[in-house]
């Protein structure tokens, strides 16, 4: 980024922060740290901004539902393919983190299809909301891969899946069961689900139940029995035995140093149970969204943190191991 653009980025941020009333210094620091991992306004130089990336929006037939997606094509020529899965967010694939990561991976030499999971964003809702089978995504993801191969010059010997947050758990499941997928990248997968959502002692059960419907903008809530079964089906704990077997798919687990210490410890312990091929990275200074935040029509991001994520994924997927 040119010097003038860096200056403009800093000026815009200073103007936005100036909208807070004088005397809210503590609040401003909290916002800077929460969204971008900055200690105070003197570290604004670490941020960069970009216009919201625009890929090609598409729709395709999933497993009985119309699924929305966005294709970010690499340069002309046969390139590896990536299916990207978002986490639990009302914005779905349009979450700034997802848009920016998909775009940057395309610039690293991948054809990327970022899809709205069923019930999210522009994808259709299942007809039967309170039914476990209505929320199974393996068929949608398989069809997404078909669609990407048909609509981009994909090297079918190098097909990968990348997921973030709850989408990382779905990426693990799809990656295990679809023989075409060679490697799995799981960024900040759902962790400690048994403790936080399924335990009889938890105080967060109502929160997770409400969030399931809220993030999908559903008109009705799930019953506890349906939610419990879905949560149990998706937890990473279930797949430890698979990653302990010889010949399993190669997996890359990623988290951020600013995430909950309990979550970091949990994922590290899960990783230790796996056998190679595997990789694990905790990105210094990173939160759950790799320090990205949209302000108006711009996405502001922490340059070193986000670049670390992009290059780590790209280098690992491009490697022969």
Least confident of 38-52, 195-209, 245-259, 281-295: 38-52
pLDDT of residue 99: 98
Binned at pLDDT 50, 70 and 90, residue 9 comes out as low
Mean pLDDT of 79-96: 97
Q: Tell me the two tokens of residue 314.
A: 């790209």
**pTM for the full predicted model:** 0.93
pLDDT over 60 (residue 19): no
pLDDT over 80 (residue 193): yes
- Where do the domains of the chain lie, and which CATH numbers do they carry? 53-291 (3.40.50.1820)
pLDDT of residue 11: 64
Is 253 in contact with 183 (CB distance < 8 Å)? no
pLDDT of residue 20: 45
Q: What is the percent of the chain where pLDDT is above 70?
A: 92
pLDDT of residue 22: 40
Largest CA distance in the chain: 60
Mean pLDDT of 310-314: 98
Binned at pLDDT 50, 70 and 90, residue 4 comes out as low
pLDDT over 90 (residue 169): yes
Query: How far is residue 218's CA from residue 226's CA, in Å, rounded to a whole number?
Result: 15
For the chain, the average pLDDT equals 93
Least confident of 39-43, 64-68, 70-74, 93-97: 39-43
Mean pLDDT of 248-270: 98
Is 270 in contact with 238 (CB distance < 8 Å)? no
Q: What is the residue whose two structure tokens read 């909208």?
A: 19
Mean pLDDT of 162-180: 98
Is 72 in contact with 105 (CB distance < 8 Å)? yes
pLDDT over 80 (residue 294): yes
Binned at pLDDT 50, 70 and 90, residue 183 comes out as very high
Mean pLDDT of 261-289: 98
Q: In what order do the strands lie in the sheet with 111-115?
A: 56-61, 66-72, 111-115, 79-85, 154-164, 181-187, 250-256, 278-283
DSSP 10-67: HHHHHHHHHTSPTT-HHHHHHHHHHHH--SSGGGGGGEEEEEPP--EEEEEE-SSSEE
pLDDT of residue 15: 61
Q: What is the residue whose two structure tokens read 């690992």?
A: 316
pLDDT of residue 31: 85
Query: How far is residue 115's CA from residue 94's CA, in Å, rounded to a whole number?
Result: 9
pLDDT of residue 64: 96
Binned at pLDDT 50, 70 and 90, residue 21 comes out as very low
Binned at pLDDT 50, 70 and 90, residue 77 comes out as confident
Is 300 in contact with 36 (CB distance < 8 Å)? yes
Nearest to 252 by CA among 321, 156, 157, 205: 321
Mean pLDDT of 238-252: 97
Query: How far is residue 135's CA from residue 125's CA, in Å, rounded to a whole number?
Result: 9
């Amino acid at each position: 980024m040119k010097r003038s653009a860096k200056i403009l980025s800093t000026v815009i941020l200073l103007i936005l922060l100036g909208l807070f009333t004088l005397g809210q210094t503590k609040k401003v620091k909290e916002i800077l740290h929460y969204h971008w991992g900055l200690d105070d306004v003197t570290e604004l130089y670490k941020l960069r901004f970009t216009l919201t990336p625009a890929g090609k929006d598409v729709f395709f037939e999933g497993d009985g539902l119309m699924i929305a997606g966005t294709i970010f094509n690499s340069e002309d020529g046969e390139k590896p393919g990536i299916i990207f899965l978002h986490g639990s967010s009302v914005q779905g694939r349009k979450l700034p983190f997802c848009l920016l990561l998909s775009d940057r991976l395309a610039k690293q030499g991948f054809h990327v299809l970022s899809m709205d999971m069923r019930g999210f964003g522009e994808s259709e809702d299942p007809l039967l909301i309170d039914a476990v089978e209505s929320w199974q995504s393996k068929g949608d993801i398989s069809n997404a891969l078909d669609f990407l191969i048909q609509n981009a010059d994909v090297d079918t010997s190098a097909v990968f899946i990348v997921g973030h947050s709850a989408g990382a758990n779905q990426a693990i499941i799809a990656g295990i069961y679809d023989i075409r997928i060679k490697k799995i990248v799981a960024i900040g997968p759902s962790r400690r689900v048994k403790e936080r959502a399924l335990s009889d002692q938890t105080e967060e059960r109502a929160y997770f139940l409400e969030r399931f419907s809220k993030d999908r903008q559903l008109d009705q809530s799930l019953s506890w029995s349906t939610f419990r079964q879905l949560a149990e089906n998706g937890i990473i704990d279930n797949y430890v035995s698979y990653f302990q077997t010889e010949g399993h798919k190669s997996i890359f687990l990623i988290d951020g140093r600013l995430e909950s210490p309990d979550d970091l410890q949990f994922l590290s312990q899960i990783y230790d149970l796996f056998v190679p091929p595997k990789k694990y990275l905790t990105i210094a200074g990173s939160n759950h969204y790799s320090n990205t935040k949209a302000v108006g029509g711009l996405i502001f991001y922490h340059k070193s943190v986000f670049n670390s994520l992009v290059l780590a994924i790209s280098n690992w997927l491009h490697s022969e191991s």
